[in-house]
Amino acid sequence: MKYCPRCGAEYIDEALVCADCNKKLIGAEEWNAMLGQHEEEAQELFIKLCTAADQFEADIIRDMLEKEGIPVLLRLYADTSFDGIFVPQKGWAAVLVPRSRFVQAERIMLEYQKQQQG
């Protein structure tokens, strides 16, 4: 079996790329190792790195950090029960990263912000 490292979808051995995420599939051994790592990360404290103004920016930041192997959680402020009334005040979502990877993530974010400014 092969698995998508992003969404966890399961595929037959002949498949190469996830139909949903367009990510390269990994084998069972690599998948199990990744699950073990995710269990360790689940025990770790995540702290706020930045605030994303909208979903587009959140996706860019998440992809950028995940390419460097940094797990990302998004805490959405766009609550559907309040029809997004907090978004103009707070932003779309808080971007959270593990405390142990914060310095690395901050460095990546600074490079991203420099690119955005000019």
- In the block, tokens 């051994």 appear at 29
Q: What is the pLDDT of residue 82?
A: 63
The pTM of this model reads 0.63
pLDDT along the chain (118 residues), means of 10: 91 93 91 82 87 93 95 83 67 92 96 87
Fold of 44-118: Alpha-Beta Plaits (3.30.70)
11 CB-near residues (< 8 Å, 6+ apart): 1, 2, 3, 4, 18, 25
Domain ranges of the chain: 1-41, 44-118
